[in-house]
Amino acid sequence: MLAIGGVFIAILLVFIELGFFIAVPQGGMLVYDHLRFDLLLCSKNYAFQAEPWQFPRTRLTDAAKAPGISQVTPLFFAGAKWQEPKGGDRLDAFVIGFDPAAKPFAVTDIERQTATLAQPDTVLVDDATRSLFGPLAASTEVLLDNHKVTIGGDYTLGTGFLGMAVAIMNETNFFRLFAPRTADIVNLGLITLTPGTDLETAAATLSKALPDDVQVFTRDGVKHHEDKYWTTRTSVGLIFGSGLIISFIVGIMVLYQTLATQISRHLPQFATLKAIGYGHHYLAAVVMIEAAMIVLVAFVPAAVAALAIYAQLRSATLLPVVLTTQRLIAVLVITLLMSAASAFLSLSNLRRADPADVF
């Protein structure tokens, strides 16, 4: 029972570290996952979503003329100081301007509130906006860069890695707020293709047709880019990567400890088996099987506990941290490998099982 408890903790540790490790890049993709596009047009200087740089809108209108393009729509990003009208801290909020008619957001809360967005100086706020930004109820007034705006309502998407608060507004309101900025310079361009158009061909055609101050990403391409940015350019990936490695090592230690204890405890029995003629290989096989069985028995509750923890992680971060079958099998294989490694390590104890010594 104790052995299983130890292995349970070891497997759970692997699950938790894995959860963090996969959650991090997904934070960078959260908003993209809720945008409608087949191809993403962005500056060649694009760093990551919250630092996309900018490019002339004409690139987007030119792109629209290419064959197979169904719709293009720009997104405008800005940072604004958010303050409650009664005073208090001026906090940093991330603001997105867009054309609601183009329906770039695949978020029902946003589509439902298109009429609200049309009202002057009205914003919708992400309900994951941190509590320190004050009440977010509809018709609350706040100051954005010292302009009074009204919160028209909220939506559930998640702030991802955009910041502590995200507000969205229609283009007209956006440019009134951020005057003298104009719609001639855009941050991102969302391109949808007509059904049946080949994705890769369209991407290649577009990037050839457009000047090299912009680049074209497919959805997979942007995912790859964001993953790479967060796991290699920031310390986040390294920290959780090293956590994952440490969790493996600790797991092996616990398993080895458990198995070695089991063997030394049953040394007389093993010695007896040896004495009555069972070979070392047979006994080794018994240890291996025992190791595998301990892992299997501990794996089930660990997976269940991991499901609960992932659910917590999901509701806390709104990131799609999911325990897919693939990941489940991966962890199972890894723990079986860990148990094989530790069983192998503990076999040396078995060699000592000398019937003459034990009794």
Partner 1 sequence: MTTALDAPSRYLPRFHGVPLAWRNLFANKRRLLRSSAGIAFAALLMMVQLGFEQGFFDASLSAVRALDGDLFVFSAYKYRFGTRDPIEHGELDRVRAVGSIASAEPLYADWQEFFWTSPIDRKPYLVRIFAFDPDAPAVFSLSGIKDQQTLLKNDDAVLVDRNARAFLGMDGTAKEAELNGQRVEIAGGFTLGPDFMSDGTVVMSDRLFAKLLPGNQDSVANLPIEAVVIKLRSGEAVSAVQSALRAALPNTSSVMTKAEIVDFERKFQEELSSAGPIFWLGAIVGFVVGMLISYQVIYTDLSDQLPQYATLKAIGYKTSYLVRSVLRQAALSGLAGYVPAWLLCIAAYRIIGAFALLPLHMTLHLTVLTLGLTLGMCLLAAVLAVRRVISADPAEIF
Tell me which residues touch partner 1 (CB under 8 A). 2-3, 5-6, 9-10, 12-13, 16-17, 20, 44-45, 47, 51, 53, 79, 81, 83, 88-92, 130, 132, 164, 233, 235, 238-239, 242-243, 246, 249-250, 253-254, 256-258, 260-261, 264-265, 316-317
Minimum distance, C-beta of residue 233 to partner 1, in the bound complex (Å): 6
Element (H, E) at 85: none
Q: Which is nearer to partner 1, 122 or 346 (CB)?
A: 346
Q: Cβ closer to partner 1: 17 or 126?
A: 17
Provide, rounded to whole angstroms, the least separation between the CB of residue 326 and partner 1: 24
Nearest to 204 by CA among 37, 56, 67: 67
Amino acid at 137: A
Nearer to partner 1, 2 or 356 (CB): 2
Q: How far is the CB of 9 from partner 1 (least distance, A)?
A: 6
> CB of 199: closest distance to partner 1 in angstroms?
26
Q: What is the dihedral of CA 186, 84, 121, 33, to 10 degrees?
A: 40
- Measured from the CB atom, the residue of 138 and 143 that comes closer to partner 1 is 143
Q: Which residues of 269-290 are buried (b: 16+ CB within 10 A; e: fewer)?
A: ebbebbeeeeeeeebeebbbeb
User: In terms of Cα–Cα distance, which of 244, 283, 241 is closest to 262?
Assistant: 283
Cβ closest to partner 1, residue 309 vs residue 328: 309
Q: What is the DSSP string of 123-134?
A: EEEETTS-GGG-
Instruction: Select 207 or 257, whichever has its Cβ closest to partner 1.
Output: 257
DSSP 30-54: TTGGGB--SEEEEETT--BTTB---
Burial profile 66-94: b = 16 or more Cβ within 10 angstroms, e = fewer: bebbebbbbbbbbebebbbeeeeeebebb
Compute the least distance from the CB of residue 17 to partner 1, in Å. Answer: 8
**Cα 322 from Cα 207, distance rounded (Å):** 34
The nearest distance, CB 102 to partner 1, in angstroms, is: 28
